[in-house]
Amino acid sequence: MYLRLIVGVILVGVSMVLSGCNGARESNEVAYIIAMGLDKAEEKGMVTVTYKIAKPSVEGSKEAGGDAFLISNTAATIAESLNLLNSTIAAKPSLSHTKVLVLGEELSRQGLTDIWGSLFRYREYRGSMFVLIARGTAKKFLEESKPTTNMSPAKYFETVLSSGEESGYFLRTSFHQFYHRLKSRSSQPYATLVGINPQSGKGQITVPTVPGGKTNGYIAGEIPREGGNPAEFAGTAIFSGDKMVGMLSTTETRILAMLLGTFHRGFLSVEDPLDPKSYVNVYLRLGSSPKIKATLKDGHPLITVKVLLEGEFTNITSGINYEEESYLKLAESQINNVLQEEMANFIRHTQELNSDVAGFGYYMHPLFSNMQDFLDYNWNEKYSQAEVHVEINTKIRRTGLMLRTIPMEK
């Protein structure tokens, strides 16, 4: 009898304690940081941190870009910067809903080892937040980024980073993925490249079109356009170790997506093989995961890459009937040649920078009896010496809403 009473009292007491909300705060008592930017400060050994903070009272309102504000400070560490931020605003800063971490170009080229450990260790930093590398400074990017659609800044970052799979022109990278590659001895880190466009209608071609192609490569901030949000997501920042060593253009990023098996879909324009003044548009997607095989010959790495693509005609300006079997092979061959050239240039570029962002090192693992032997081989140093053979196989599966192309009468 007494035992049941004692157990009952204990259970009631425990349930009251466990259901308590001792640490609860009202939403207007918390400053939710949507985005955080890190830049190298002018003072030696200091870092400039920029916070984009949501206004709880208007979060999700219809005022485009008007539901957040920016605060910047300079400190010796990120932790000290958070202390200074807490002295600036009335609410408690919270990183639990941070969507993006933006790193300035100069800081990224200097090296991220000292910063990354502190970010990964503290519990409020989410492994799912996205990593962006800003051309120029992260502060300017966050200041100039003004969504033109009626959505909150948090939703804007989520939406735009998800849209990258529509073209393959930029790849989203989570904080966890970046850190994993940073620690890996089989690949190198990469992150989304962002920048501010002057919106003058003029741009700068980063990678010119290859023979037979119709598509130039651009990086963020250099796309020829006017109007809209000045912020651009285009291209990829690539690293060797913890240091940024270069940038990939939009077309090179698409090739990287194909090698990683993350290319979902996108348009490609090539010269008409029978009428070079005209062009053929196709809508491409991966037909299967890329087939990558690695071997060693006298200690020299040899890598074979086979990529299967499936496509759909979306425009044939010459009016030639490429739906016909004999002509279809010509169009497929033209696409293969263009993409093989782009992939060869991509590999050459990354080897010059000694940055295996495609992760070929993972395919080297079966060639060694144990992991220590692979680590002793030092793949990240051997990548620049690797011989890589590329084979693209394109199959046009669909012809759009037209069964046969008939030229228009002039």
Give residue-wise pLDDT tens across range 166-216: 889 999 999 999 999 998 899 999 999 999 999 888 889 999 999 999 999
User: What's residue 28's pLDDT?
Assistant: 64
User: What's residue 402's pLDDT?
Assistant: 74
Task: Tell me if 179 sits within 8 A of 346, measured CB to CB.
Answer: no
- For 343, residues 6+ apart whose C-beta sits below 8 A from its C-beta are 255, 258, 259, 305, 307, 390, 392
Q: Which of 241, 391, 380 minimizes the C-alpha distance to 303?
A: 391
User: What's residue 19's pLDDT?
Assistant: 57
User: What's residue 171's pLDDT?
Assistant: 95
Q: Which of 215, 30, 19, 382 minimizes the C-alpha distance to 206?
A: 215
Q: Which of 65, 104, 100 minimizes the C-alpha distance to 230?
A: 65
User: What's residue 21's pLDDT?
Assistant: 58
Q: Which residues of the chain have a pLDDT value below 70?
A: 1-2, 7, 12-28, 57-66, 405-410
Q: What distance in Å separates the CA atoms of residue 92 and residue 401, rounded to the nearest whole number?
A: 57
Q: What distance in Å separates the CA atoms of residue 85 and residue 303, rounded to the nearest whole number?
A: 50
Task: Tell me if 98 sits within 8 A of 33, measured CB to CB.
Answer: yes
The Cα angle at residue 213 between residues 210 and 219, in degrees rounded to 5: 65
The residue assigned the tokens 């100069």 is 106
Q: What distance in Å separates the CA atoms of residue 39 and residue 366, rounded to the nearest whole number?
A: 41
User: What's residue 127's pLDDT?
Assistant: 82
Q: What distance in Å separates the CA atoms of residue 369 and residue 280, rounded to the nearest whole number?
A: 48
User: What's residue 359's pLDDT?
Assistant: 95
Q: What distance in Å separates the CA atoms of residue 273 and residue 213, rounded to the nearest whole number?
A: 10
pTM of the model: 0.89
Provide the β-strand partners of residue 404: none
